[in-house]
Chain A
């Protein structure tokens, strides 16, 4: 397909990778990797790894009906790490020569201060990920810019057609193509090719001086054809326009503690903030999480079962392997209300003596590995969503959210509704303006009294930030009822 002349040599290397070894992509041999790992082989070092990464990111964006901007960024480098007990030595370089690897290795082993170890470091043996959750042909993923431009133009037209009060449409289409290879001191060498894309649309509606905003988007580890499938891009455009128009008639949100019904899908951000971060192993090893020492204890009502699953095909939060080369899995965090487990990376699993869950992730070769979520969601329950709404006399029905945040240590979390309605006498009535909801992580899920049978995963827009590192994640939720949570509106 298309326009090979536009391709970089780098991308041609990708094609070769299928035939040769992953390290060849980076101009490094197995022996050079082994040599660098051997420099890290001093007595107190428990573990060392090299993380090679190449990434091409592209974006096109539109505003005022014009696709004005196109950008492309290319980066590659290596992160070198050694761990000794709780200590981590880490160095990275955007040069990939043997000498750069050695320098990075010398920096990383500085933490150990110890003489040369006597164990031999094996030459890493090549293996392939055991599955392919995002089998996208590069040829299909790599569509020409003009096709992306048309996609955005059609979105603009559709949003404006939806309602003449839509006065501006901003849309962007971003893709990333990442190739990684991990070589470890325990002798493994494994690589992955990780595509990712996202379409995001924001509409501004204006009527008699009242201006409102609506947003919608989606994506995943999918190719360009995903967005045109059944005109998905036009659905997104109408959704963003609908939310903006709806907010034109929104009334002030209520203030205070009240019952809240969360719709399925993206409102699963509740789980990500309220419990997900608090169950990352690093905070629990350090005993700085509000969930420390709560394994086996009740932290949710018995209708709640929550998992973190990195193995769902094509999902934004999914990975064939994590950034330490561990295959991702499905980890039960909470089972019928009881806290079952943490999500781990190698360092924390080793120090805590608990299972490795394949959640060691990093933003890039420039970042250290941390235990991070993949796709975090609550399993479906048995209630009819309509019955859930009917059970509320006065409360809030929240359908869509902006971002959220949590204080791991005291457990307080927030997430901000961008589309919400009042529930009055069991019926969804007026739309209300956005409001922040605030609660306490270890407590909030004990107030979940009904769980719908309508589990939905989000559309693929989530990015999680931790210690300054951003990684793509997914969330999901069936319709649920929280008996009481504080709603931060303006009307008392």
Chain B
């Protein structure tokens, strides 16, 4: 047997059922022999099947199976991280020795290390993340076709399409460390997105929009027709958009754009930005950072939540953290390292892509809804902007300066008057968070970060 085929034989043994826990244990043992004082390992594998249809015909089918192993070792207070997709014993032995060599090349970092054993998740709650349903290609093609067709039927101005895509995936994560922690969970995902294009008959001007839904469980997905119809409504309503004159006005953020604002808050309270002094919310714990209408939670254990998981990327138990309570900053989002840098315990927010050392990420990060409907909020504005999309990267997390491309609808006397585009909105996030004067009742979880409609009292809109 030549060396290549021998490696392959070993690989297929390792991939057997339950083999990853043993594989992880073997790698940890090998790391110790190479001089590692602590180590952790994450193994992820999964399958995805994706279907794209466009204008009624199949455009692309994609099928894949993948697996990856990430290793982090500590040699005293020095550490390094590596990853590979080759699980043969020979390859993993090389990886371990490489990782230890790499670790010895960097400097000591006094706070580096695994979480304390006491912080590791002891329980394994079932968070309703996995559905064993396997959909055949024809079912997925049918869903995508029905979604796109519903968009075409919804309005005669829908004349073209960037397509509809149905994706299904499932996978598992195994995490083990030298404290003896071994945890694993499975999750699955089903999603449909539809991207129609509407055309204005007189000018030929085109507008694209999209709508989508993602769920862990197939049965929870909204109908293909409802997703397609909403996508069409969103594309068509943009037709005839124009610029407006430069002026300061109130801005109503819809659920999607309010979610992007909340994502900016999420970055600002992330431990890594804070200890590097690269956040506009430095040293604000216990201080008022937002309007007293604002309460924000991050809940890692919401059943079926798109950001839910039983333990974080270091094995620390997830939980529900209060981030902002009636405008006061209560907690940062932290993993072990950034927590130690700030003298605080991990909040169970380590996010780990297999090949990298942990960083911080939200689980289910949401703003608690108020009582006003979106219509009531729009109705409160005499002249202003109903914001439905922001584009670009004009956010300075160090200063909070905010300047982004925008589109939406101009509000006149409490009603949506006409669509607008090619404008910018600008302000500073520190002030914007304090200027939120209305919070909608319409919280819907469509991703890991969710917000109801929000109204900011005034920002600069630049146009003509």
Contact = CB atoms under 8 A, between A and B. Distances in A.
A107 B79 contact: no
Interface in B398-418: 398-399, 401, 403-405, 407
Interface string A463-492: 000000000000000000000001111111
Interface string A23-38: 0000100000000000
A208 to B, nearest CB: 14
Contacts of A491: 460
A368 B460 contact: no
A74 B86 contact: yes
Most chain A beta carbons < 10 A, residue from B57, B62, B197, B276:
B62
Interface string A375-413: 000000000000000000000000000111101111011
B12 to A, nearest CB: 9
B49 to A, nearest CB: 9
B206 A409 contact: yes
A6 B101 contact: yes
Most chain B beta carbons < 10 A, residue from A89, A204, A416, A491:
A416
B220 interface: no
A287 B160 CA distance: 8
Interface residues of A, number: 86
Interface string A73-98: 11111000000001111111111010
A18 interface: no
B137 interface: yes
B13 to A, nearest CB: 14
B106 A71 contact: no
A299 interface: no
B59 A67 contact: no
A1 interface: no
Given A70-B103, A145-B105, A257-B463, A488 B80 contact: no
B61 A433 contact: no
B405 A412 contact: yes
A438 interface: yes
B95 interface: yes
A76 B394 CA distance: 36
Nearest to A63: B276
Contacts of A86: 54, 57, 59
B4 interface: yes
Nearest to A27: B4
Interface in A1-25: 6, 8-9
Interface string B266-283: 000000000011100010
Given A72-B82, A286-B162, A436-B392, A93 B401 contact: no
A410 B392 CA distance: 15
Given A88-B59, A436-B424, 17 more contacts: A71-B355, A72-B80, A73-B355, A94-B65, A94-B67, A97-B8, A149-B106, A255-B461, A255-B462, A287-B160, A290-B206, A366-B64, A410-B241, A434-B403, A438-B405, A486-B243, A489-B460
Interface of B: 4, 8, 11, 54, 57-68, 79-86, 90, 94-95, 98-99, 101-103, 105-107, 109, 112, 137, 160-162, 197, 205-208, 238, 241, 243, 246-248, 276-278, 282, 355-357, 391-394, 396, 398-399, 401, 403-405, 407, 421-428, 460-464
Interface of A: 6, 8-9, 27, 57, 60, 63-64, 66-77, 86-95, 97, 104, 107-108, 110-111, 144-146, 149, 167-168, 170, 202, 204, 206, 211-213, 253, 255-257, 286-288, 290, 366, 368, 402-405, 407-410, 412-416, 433-436, 438-440, 486-492
